[in-house]
Structure formats: C-alpha cells, structure tokens
C-alpha cells in the first residue's frame, strides 16, 4: 500500500491524515511533541463516524479507514518508504528552514516533500537543500477532506516531475489541485480572498453597508453560483454570447469601479470596532467554538449535496 508521511499532527496534519487514509493510503503521523500523533488519532476516531454518516468515506467503514493510520515515533519512521510527506509545521520561516534541512537529510531522495504553508513561498525554505528539486507547496483549505481545492506551488528549482507527482497524488486523494506555474505571494486563493476582503472592509469602513449586509451579498448572493461554477464559468453563462459578450457588455462597470479599490483601510483600525460589535452581537465570543462545529457540519452536508448534484444533474 502506498505510504504517506504526515509531519506535524496538529489541526492541518490530522485533517490531511483523514484525507489520505479515506483515499486508501497508508498514513503515518509524526510530531516532535510526545503523544501528539496519538492525540491526533483519537481526534480522528471522533470525526470518522460523522463522515461515514454523510457517505463521505468512499463506502469504507470508520474502522477500515482508521486501520490505515498509525503513529510513528520519529520523522524517520514516518518517512521510511513514504512516497510523499505532507508537512504542517507552524508558519515560522526559521522553523521551516531548520525542519526542511532535517527532512531533506532523512527522506529518500525520491520522496516528495510538500508543505501545507499558506503564507511562505517555497523558495524561502528550500534553496540550500541537497534535494531541493523534490520540494513544493501543497496548500489546502482546512479541512481538505471537505474542501477539495489544493494549491500546488513550485519553487524556481522544483522539478516538473515533482509537480506532476504531487498533483497526481492530490487527485488520487480526491482533491482538486490548482497547479501554479510559478510561486506568487498569497498563491491563487488567498489573493482572491484578499481582493474580496479588502472591498468588504472598505464598504463597512466607508459606511455603505453593514457587516451582515456584506455577508448576505455573498452567502445569499454571489457565492451561490460560485460554489458550483467558479467566477469565470459564472460570467461565461451570464451573457447570451458567452464570456466575450459579457466583457463587451459589462467590463465598463468594473473599469469604473476598480480605481476606487486601489487603497486599503487598516483592518485593525476603527473598522475593526464596527466589525467586532456586529459579529459579537450575532455570535457571542463564548459561542465561537460551537459555531465552528456548526460550520464543519454545514460543510459536510454541502460536500454531500455537491456530490449528489454532480451525479444527478451533472458537474
């Protein structure tokens, strides 16, 4: 059975472990903190029945998926015979540099080393490695077993073979890889999220809309189509003659708006008081954790809905 090493078994690492084990891989979890892999396995045992109840385990039982997972006593043990290592250490450059020097020395040269980092470019922690050509980023949105998109990002020296193997592995694990042609700060998803959030904060800061109005505009408006089509297919279907017709008809609106958007408001400035007051009036600070459970249940139900709609209506 193909083996995957999970390096770092915190929230991202354990979610990756579920993703790979569900897809049939043999998964070994390793962590510097003693007892952490065992704690991750206990957490995973709590999640698997929920996934089974939503038919999100590819028909396997929770026990069968659990049997594919094990705790390793060291990075070396986890990496032994692994085709791919998924690293989930904290977002700290010096820490990543030291960690990759260590992993590069232990792992067989043909093992792909993939980082879950969202914010650090791969070139910054791989330049001096002996086998730097086998390192890339595979950045998920958490949890990857409910959100398929993963950014596969090369450093300038990452080999084409590494990129192909990483993307193929992600597909085999049931993910939807976004294969970037070269590295870029924020990758693809956080750049789009940032563009949207910047406008959201500006609209609230300038007093045009409330926090809830912005959320309504997305969750009861734009994101309904985006959640099964994406923005390009949305505009392709939004003018009788397709995307070229859309651009001819509507670009002028966006062209007029765009320059207004070339400025930031400080998210930590006065607008934060407005955002906090509105959010805490809707959801008490003490209820945040419970609401995260709600979010994951909704994500699970949405994943099940999308799979069914893909089959019944078409993807």
CA–CA separation, 282 and 276 (whole Å): 10
Q: Helix count (H) and strand count (E) of the chain?
A: 13, 8
Binding flag, residue 216, a second copy (CB under 8 A): yes
Among 141, 157, 171, 307, binds a second copy (CB under 8 A): 141
Q: Which of 77, 71, 75 lies closest to 103 in space, CA to CA?
A: 75
Q: What residues numbered 218-247 form the site for a second copy, per CB under 8 A?
A: 218-233, 235-237, 240-244, 247
What 3-state class would DSSP assign to 129?
coil
Question: Which segment (32-40, 80-88, 109-117, 143-151) binds a second copy by CB under 8 A?
Answer: 143-151
The residue among 98 and 208 lying less far from a second copy, judged by its C-beta, is 208
Residue 277 beta carbon to a second copy: minimum distance, rounded to whole angstroms: 11
Q: Which x/- pattern over 25-64 shows residues binding a second copy (rule: CB under 8 A)?
A: ----------------------------------------
DSSP H helical segments within 26-122, as ranges?
36-53, 62-66, 75-79, 93-106
Residue 13 beta carbon to a second copy: minimum distance, rounded to whole angstroms: 17
Residue 55 beta carbon to a second copy: minimum distance, rounded to whole angstroms: 15
H or E element that contains 230: helix 223-236
Computed on alpha carbons and rounded to an integer, the radius of gyration of the chain in Å comes to 21
Q: Are 188 and 128 in contact (CB under 8 A)?
A: no
Residue 228 beta carbon to a second copy: minimum distance, rounded to whole angstroms: 5
**Cβ contacts of 103 within 8 Å, gap of 6 or more:** 7, 75, 79, 85, 87, 113
Q: Which x/- pattern over 111-130 shows residues binding a second copy (rule: CB under 8 A)?
A: -------xx-----------
Residue 8 beta carbon to a second copy: minimum distance, rounded to whole angstroms: 17
Question: Which segment (49-57, 121-129, 160-168, 286-294) binds a second copy by CB under 8 A?
Answer: 286-294
Q: What residues numbered 256-275 form the site for a second copy, per CB under 8 A?
A: 256-258, 260-264, 266-268, 272, 275
Q: What residues numbered 154-193 form the site for a second copy, per CB under 8 A?
A: 176-182, 184-186, 188-193
Number of residues counted as binding a second copy (CB under 8 A): 108
H or E element that contains 115: strand 112-115
The residue among 46 and 314 lying less far from a second copy, judged by its C-beta, is 314
Q: What residues numbered 65-104 form the site for a second copy, per CB under 8 A?
A: none
The residue among 44 and 275 lying less far from a second copy, judged by its C-beta, is 275
User: What is the number of alpha carbons within 13 Å of residue 262 lying toward its C-beta?
Assistant: 6
Chain-centroid distance, C-alpha 196? 17
Question: Which segment (17-25, 77-85, 128-136, 195-203) binds a second copy by CB under 8 A?
Answer: 195-203
Q: Which two tokens stand for residue 1?
A: 């059975």
Q: Which of 107, 106, 69, 75 lies closest to 88 in space, CA to CA?
A: 75
Considering only the C-alpha atoms of the chain, give the largest distance between any 2 of them, rounded to a whole number of Å: 61
CA–CA separation, 235 and 258 (whole Å): 17
The residue among 73 and 291 lying less far from a second copy, judged by its C-beta, is 291
């Amino acid at each position: 059975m193909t083996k995957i090493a999970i390096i770092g078994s915190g929230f991202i690492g354990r979610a990756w472990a579920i993703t790979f084990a569900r897809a049939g891989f043999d998964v070994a979890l390793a962590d510097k903190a003693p007892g952490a892999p065992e704690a991750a396995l206990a957490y995973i045992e709590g999640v698997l029945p929920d996934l089974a109840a939503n038919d999100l385990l590819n028909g396997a039982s929770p026990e069968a998926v659990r049997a594919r997972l094990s705790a390793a006593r060291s990075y070396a043990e986890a990496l032994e015979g692994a085709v791919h290592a998924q690293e989930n250490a904290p977002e700290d450059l010096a820490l990543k540099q030291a960690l990759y020097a260590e992993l590069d020395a232990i792992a067989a040269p043909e093992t792909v080393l993939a980082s879950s980092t969202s914010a650090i470019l791969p070139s910054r922690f791989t330049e001096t490695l002996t086998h730097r050509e086998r390192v890339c980023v595979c950045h998920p949105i958490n949890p990857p077993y409910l959100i398929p998109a993963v950014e596969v990002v090369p450093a300038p020296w990452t080999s084409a073979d590494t990129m192909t193997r990483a993307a193929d592995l992600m597909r085999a694990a049931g993910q939807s890889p976004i294969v970037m042609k070269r590295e870029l700060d924020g990758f693809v998803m956080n750049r789009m999220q940032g563009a949207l959030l910047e406008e959201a904060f500006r609209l609230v800061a300038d007093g045009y809309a409330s926090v809830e109005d912005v959320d309504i505009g997305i969750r009861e408006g734009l994101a309904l189509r985006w959640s099964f089509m994406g923005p390009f297919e949305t505009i392709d279907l939004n003018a009788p003659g397709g995307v070229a017709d859309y651009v001819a008809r509507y670009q002028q609106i966006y062209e007029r708006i765009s320059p207004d958007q070339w400025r930031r408001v400080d998210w930590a400035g006065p607008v934060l008081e407005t955002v906090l007051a509105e959010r805490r009036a809707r959801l008490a600070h003490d209820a945040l954790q419970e609401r995260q459970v709600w979010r994951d249940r909704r994500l699970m139900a949405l994943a099940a809905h999308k799979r069914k709609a893909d089959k019944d209506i078409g993807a």
